[in-house]
Chain A
């Protein structure tokens, strides 16, 4: 830690950094930034930087304005897209109240608290997200809706295509920022791309996702296109999810792995999945936080609308990926509901809390879903006992409202704020008269 601060101060000196951006995230998951000069960095480490937090969504209680942001030196990186003229670096920050207590509404603190709880039980939590997004020609909406940059499909190699260059450039930039990329390819929708980040502990990964979104947006601007993480921008094409692989470690050992067990999945792994399944409906308002999220979630295809698990079943909510022999350390489960627009700090906190609850209470894992759940009838699904995820933001909020797990994990302040903020979104949405209604009702009625 202290070595790291030395390193930061030295690097700022050596590389002639002109600005340091202090990054933090509001409750909704929007990245916020305050720039300071190199001379202020030392003070920022020692005392934090005071900002007026009242203007930032959910950051402060209504009655307090000032908060302090404390940069975390281990997150120091030079931003590659700023070029060499005014070299700029960034650090993620923790938020504190003026009396030094951790900010109650700092999503990063929520995740840290949850990780500490897992730590008390001897667990560390790793995640590995597959982030999908669309590349559009611009943010302008054409007569047919947004206009994607190409019309290619899954894994298509588009000759001379923007998407290819785009991914190459983004991956390069991410690696410059110390974020390892596992994989990248064209996704099923036109202009849709996926980039998989190499697994890391959940806090680093949440920071990485925030960086990732910025990088992708920056590269898009560089290349004259527009990138969006909106869960379902194009009607009739797949939405952008963020399937996330989760694993728990006990020391150096993967706690999900047990040689010889079914799917090499340990009891802890099974209980963790059971926890995810049981609490999936109530955490959905956070993992899928926008009105638009539910258009992806209920858009058919392989969207994980039903609370099931399966081994390599691409319609299940929780998937246990094919086990690779001799890779005990890579045992993991994939949670497929979360979308690319989630606040990763809060979403990871809740996924972890749900899984831990399964372990603590010793939940039994229900039977595996072997069929494509979408191909079953409602009656069949009921008969098989498959619950389903909420159908709309409204529904998700009403489930969350009753959730002790969500309240405990987020803390009362964040919990109340999310409910309030998202209810407002639902209200605004409902107040509209949509083209759909006009088209189908106006002339008929």
Chain B
């Protein structure tokens, strides 16, 4: 090629990126070393041609003569690839690895490693021979340098092999195992040096048996280019050498071995020898006898330590001793999975690892991020541990070997196994090429365009940076679904009448798998799976598709058994209408939410069984928000108008109410609505139900009596009045009517309306209890009164507690004029211009009495959500006393809502913000806990559960992470204690006793 005639476009076509600079450099190099000209094609085949050129320049600069001889070397005659010269290999290495280029520049003599073509990778024995002969009988720095240089020469040769592979994805496991073998050879050579170096009598050193066991990736023979090498040392004495002495000598040997590879010396260290997987980790003895290892694992080791042993393999030193170690420990490894909580603790461990990735790196992580290598390794190890106990054939060390064995034995699907085999290899290839580039231990994908382009060329997985990223994302997506596809899908096959041809998961294995992930009744669970997935119906086929993912989510839920059972009932109830399943299939968000709902709430599960179509709301947050009151009222009134018979209409109203309550339950469980929205929403539903039923009762009344001469209204009190209802709360109400003085039997008619109202709202499934006990004269008084009668009563008899009850009076249904009139009447009672000292005392005394009398016998006041220490009623009374005292003059305080009144009291200066915050917190946590108890158990209870499992369920509904039962308890007790302090000081005005005298 004529000088400077190289067209830039030619270079571009050849894969150069920095065209001008590379052209100049090429010209200059050819100028210095004409042989270079024949290598342009080879350079252009390398991963990074521009850099290959730069590095070649450095090599020529440093060692012009050696390089010339090397570049001139002809290929030895070979039957197949006669065209590949040593120099061609060099160019590939230079283009792929800055680290190895540095090494060759540093030690040009090592170019010899590339002289001959490697057709098959050497065995560990071959590597050992090379390294041992390089070291000879050297010691100290000379020995260190010799081992390392020999190692790196082998590495250069192996790299050239890797880079010339036609299909590096297919060859990945070969290269990875050769890397592990090379590491083993390095350990063997270093141990040889150590035996000469240690200052012990030679005969004693000879009597010391030391075995080096490889763990982790080295043990599995799937090592990276650069990685810590995990090892464990075992020693014994022979020929009468005491084991204590042998351990002492072996410890020195181990330390010397490590240093030979990792301490500073003229040639750079190779890698860290990491012995921290040994018993007791960093604090334990570096070397132990076999029996000491055994004793440790038998007695003290934790689950994950056994997991590490899965990979143990004798790699250097005394192989016989090493094999004995593996043999003796194997039974322990394979029984560990049967221990309780094993899978859970393993999963926790993994979550901790994931949580420790810096968030900036998550998206670049090849290894630890979502869809990374660790996901594949973890799932495969988990499957091995669950099933390996009974099936030795899947006890493989390497990830790919294990995956193959799992597929061969039918524990996972063959097609999936093949798919993930390829994904694993490709991820590892990416990792290999990234590490090779700088010879650094990293698992991060590069971010800049140029590095990605080079990586694409190096791996051959794509032709451009964008293409590579796209390819990688596709792998990640697939791997993310891996756990589900490998772990859960085969469960279906286990129960199928005609199992997949390539899956042979036995019932026993399936039960083991379900038990491992937290099903308490795995047999029952398997039965549900069988029932749902059996058959050829469209429904069964969708179920088969859905179940694996849902099983995984159920397993993560509060009560997996409950969830699965509820799901079965739900889908059985739907019979052949499979729209619901199709919706779940098409919307994974809805399906996941459904599992959360079903495994954490009996209340919602029971309702869903009646109203299955509600599941579709889970798709869209908007459907989980409360519907506005006018909408609810319109629906109720339309229902009333549509149906002529009241009982029929009442049935429809009842259904509507259940449906809306379910909507709120779903919203609360998946965390779409707050407890305040919930209170308002439930109150609105109540009002709509009452309004509908009242309209029916009035209609019947008119039919009976004719004429429209009776006005009637329902007034809400208590938490209903304050729009603070929870699931399962009673509704406190008053009934008022008004009629012309001459209207006959108005009182009886009103009473009949009340009776009808109760009848029409009655619902055995989701009880609606209208409680009128707060009416004047309580249970002894008439159930409904005329407005005049109320006025007369309040004018004459009103007690402070009645004024207090009226603070929350809010008209919710009935004739508008009467509603307004009643509220006006209530205002005169509840907002007095002043409250006498005696009245204040009366309120306080009543509260004190309620505290001691209303609390159920034996109930722990610190756990009572309603009447307990610092909980709901403390906060309400605190606020109500301020309202009674000041709302007469301060209009801002006139609200039925506890929290709004509290805020108003802060704004108007009656309560300090810090105090209000403590009260608010207590009110919120108690309200949320009460609703959560109802959702979980489907029964009302005013006690914070004390049973750990119940408490855990409540904690999950309060959005605590799994395992937080004690945290919730501690939080609840602390929050209510503080609220009680505020309450006692502000409500009772308790002052601390004065200082004593000295």
Task: Please report A residues at the B interface, Cβ cutoff 8 Å.
Answer: 1-3, 5-6, 42, 45-46, 61-64, 97, 99, 101, 104, 298, 305-306, 378, 381, 388, 390-392, 394-395, 398-399, 402, 404, 407-408, 411-413, 415-416
CB neighbours of A416 from chain B (8 A) = 862, 973
Query: Does B993 sit within 8 A of A, measured CB to CB?
Result: yes
Say yes or no: B280 contacts A378, CB within 8 Å: no
Q: Contacts A2-B284, A2-B300, A412-B973 given; 4 further ones with Cβ under 8 A?
A: A6-B295, A63-B947, A99-B948, A416-B973
| Pairs across A and B, CB under 8 Å, 10 listed | A2-B296, A5-B299, A46-B299, A306-B998, A378-B997, A390-B996, A395-B993, A402-B981, A412-B973, A416-B973
- Alpha-carbon separation in the docked complex, A404 to B296 (Å): 45
Query: Does B95 sit within 8 A of A, measured CB to CB?
Result: no
- Alpha-carbon separation in the docked complex, A391 to B978 (Å): 25
Q: A104-B966, A305-B998, A412-B970 are in contact. Are A407 and B977 (CB under 8 A)?
A: yes
- Alpha-carbon separation in the docked complex, A270 to B995 (Å): 27
| 3 shortest interchain CB distances as A-B pairs | A391-B996, A412-B973, A63-B946
Interface centre among A3, A5, A97 (most CB of B within 10 A): A3
Say yes or no: A412 contacts B974, CB within 8 Å: yes
Minimal beta-carbon separation of B964 from chain A (angstroms)? 11
CB neighbours of B860 from chain A (8 A) = 62
Residue of A nearest to B862 (CB): A416
Say yes or no: B946 contacts A42, CB within 8 Å: no
Q: A2-B284, A402-B992 are in contact. Are A61 and B946 (CB under 8 A)?
A: yes
- Alpha-carbon separation in the docked complex, A298 to B974 (Å): 33
Q: A305-B998, A412-B970 are in contact. Are A3 and B280 (CB under 8 A)?
A: yes
Say yes or no: A298 contacts B998, CB within 8 Å: yes
Partner of A395, one of B296, B300, B862, B996: B996
- Alpha-carbon separation in the docked complex, A153 to B445 (Å): 79
- Alpha-carbon separation in the docked complex, A388 to B994 (Å): 12
Q: A6-B295, A42-B299, A99-B948 are in contact. Are A388 and B280 (CB under 8 A)?
A: no
Minimal beta-carbon separation of B868 from chain A (angstroms)? 12
B841-889 contacts to A, CB under 8 A, are 860, 862
Minimal beta-carbon separation of A102 from chain B (angstroms)? 9
Q: A2-B300, A392-B996 are in contact. Are A101 and B966 (CB under 8 A)?
A: yes
Partner of A398, one of B295, B862, B992: B992
CB neighbours of B518 from chain A (8 A) = none
CB neighbours of B946 from chain A (8 A) = 61, 63-64
Say yes or no: B996 contacts A378, CB within 8 Å: no
Residue of A nearest to B946 (CB): A63
Residue of B nearest to A306 (CB): B998
- Alpha-carbon separation in the docked complex, A395 to B996 (Å): 8
B952-998 contacts to A, CB under 8 A, are 966, 969-970, 973-974, 977-978, 981, 992-993, 995-998
- Alpha-carbon separation in the docked complex, A45 to B299 (Å): 9
Say yes or no: A411 contacts B295, CB within 8 Å: no
Minimal beta-carbon separation of A300 from chain B (angstroms)? 10
CB neighbours of B184 from chain A (8 A) = none
Query: Does B279 sit within 8 A of A, measured CB to CB?
Result: yes
Partner of A378, one of B299, B300, B998: B998
Task: Please report B residues at the A interface, Cβ cutoff 8 Å.
Answer: 279-280, 284, 295-296, 299-300, 860, 862, 946-948, 966, 969-970, 973-974, 977-978, 981, 992-993, 995-998
- Alpha-carbon separation in the docked complex, A411 to B997 (Å): 32
CB neighbours of B296 from chain A (8 A) = 2
Partner of A388, one of B862, B969, B995: B995
- Alpha-carbon separation in the docked complex, A412 to B969 (Å): 9
Residue of B nearest to A377 (CB): B998
Residue of A nearest to B992 (CB): A398
Minimal beta-carbon separation of B280 from chain A (angstroms)? 5
CB neighbours of A411 from chain B (8 A) = 970
CB neighbours of A45 from chain B (8 A) = 299
Interface centre among B860, B978, B981, B996 (most CB of A within 10 A): B996
CB neighbours of B862 from chain A (8 A) = 416
CB neighbours of B974 from chain A (8 A) = 407-408, 412
Minimal beta-carbon separation of A304 from chain B (angstroms)? 12
CB neighbours of B947 from chain A (8 A) = 63
CB neighbours of B299 from chain A (8 A) = 2, 5, 42, 45-46
- Alpha-carbon separation in the docked complex, A28 to B981 (Å): 25
Interface centre among B299, B978, B981 (most CB of A within 10 A): B299
Minimal beta-carbon separation of A137 from chain B (angstroms)? 34
Residue of B nearest to A376 (CB): B998
Interface centre among B300, B862, B946, B998 (most CB of A within 10 A): B998
Residue of B nearest to A99 (CB): B948
- Alpha-carbon separation in the docked complex, A113 to B287 (Å): 34
CB neighbours of A305 from chain B (8 A) = 998
CB neighbours of B992 from chain A (8 A) = 398-399, 402
- Alpha-carbon separation in the docked complex, A377 to B280 (Å): 62
- Alpha-carbon separation in the docked complex, A394 to B295 (Å): 55
- Alpha-carbon separation in the docked complex, A404 to B980 (Å): 13
CB neighbours of A415 from chain B (8 A) = 977
CB neighbours of B284 from chain A (8 A) = 2-3
CB neighbours of A64 from chain B (8 A) = 946
- Alpha-carbon separation in the docked complex, A366 to B361 (Å): 50
- Alpha-carbon separation in the docked complex, A61 to B946 (Å): 9
- Alpha-carbon separation in the docked complex, A415 to B862 (Å): 12
- Alpha-carbon separation in the docked complex, A291 to B978 (Å): 27
Residue of B nearest to A9 (CB): B299
Say yes or no: A5 contacts B300, CB within 8 Å: yes
CB neighbours of A99 from chain B (8 A) = 948
- Alpha-carbon separation in the docked complex, A175 to B460 (Å): 73
Minimal beta-carbon separation of B946 from chain A (angstroms)? 4
Minimal beta-carbon separation of B138 from chain A (angstroms)? 38
- Alpha-carbon separation in the docked complex, A412 to B860 (Å): 14
- Alpha-carbon separation in the docked complex, A433 to B974 (Å): 38
CB neighbours of B995 from chain A (8 A) = 388, 391
Minimal beta-carbon separation of B875 from chain A (angstroms)? 19
CB neighbours of B978 from chain A (8 A) = 404
Say yes or no: B279 contacts A2, CB within 8 Å: yes
- Alpha-carbon separation in the docked complex, A306 to B947 (Å): 46
CB neighbours of A408 from chain B (8 A) = 974
